[in-house]
Structure 1
Amino acid sequence: MTIIGAPIALAGLLVWLTLTLATFVFSAYYIGRLLFRGNQPPVVKALFGGVILIVALHIPWLNIAVWAAMVFFGLGAQLLEIHNRKPWRRDRPESAITPPPPFAASTTVEGHAVTQA
């Protein structure tokens, strides 16, 4: 159990630590996106959000709530992004997934097959 469990626990700890440290960037970008609704570059949004987070993290007692919100929202955003980028997930329109109805008339218009129900 120690030979297998210790490396798995260490790998899990490193993944959790990396994701937790990256929550600052995700949270800073989100705050910047809330402030700037225009066409500013993402770096500008993240920088302004980061400045706001740094200032909020230096205020006593408020820093605990800001840190907790930053970790929860940042981890949630990261996990949603990881979930959306699964390699086996295909973003196809609904019409591409459902087959045409049976006994549908099919014609060709300018080289494209057109199915009529």
Structure 2
Amino acid sequence: MKVTHPAVSIVDDDESVRESLPDLLNEFGFSAKTFASAEEFLASDSVGTTRCLVLDVAMPGMTGPELQRELARRGESIPIVFITANADDTIRPRLMEQGAVECLFKPFSDTALLEALSSALSAP
């Protein structure tokens, strides 16, 4: 029997996040791919195979929420866990209202990320 590891795509313009998160996600049993921008993710063949998206809120070009709207427009329903360095208290409720599974503030714990991903992947 083939063991499948849920595909998680990480979209963040911060290189340190793109370097550290895949190792952590692999340890958790996920298959991780990284993208430096929303545009790069949209142009990839990963859109159709991604089971969960770890998405930075603020990026140059298309922002995380703009990518979320674009995916919805295309009929792609990928659960999204937003991550942000912006500790604005109004941002999380707004993102959750728009359908995000979770919004984590950097720096977040490994446990918080794992819980958010588990939640995203168990959502109907």
Name the structure with the higher strand share: 2
Q: Which has the higher helix share?
A: 1
TM-score by length of 2: 0.23
**TM (normalized to structure 1)?**
0.24
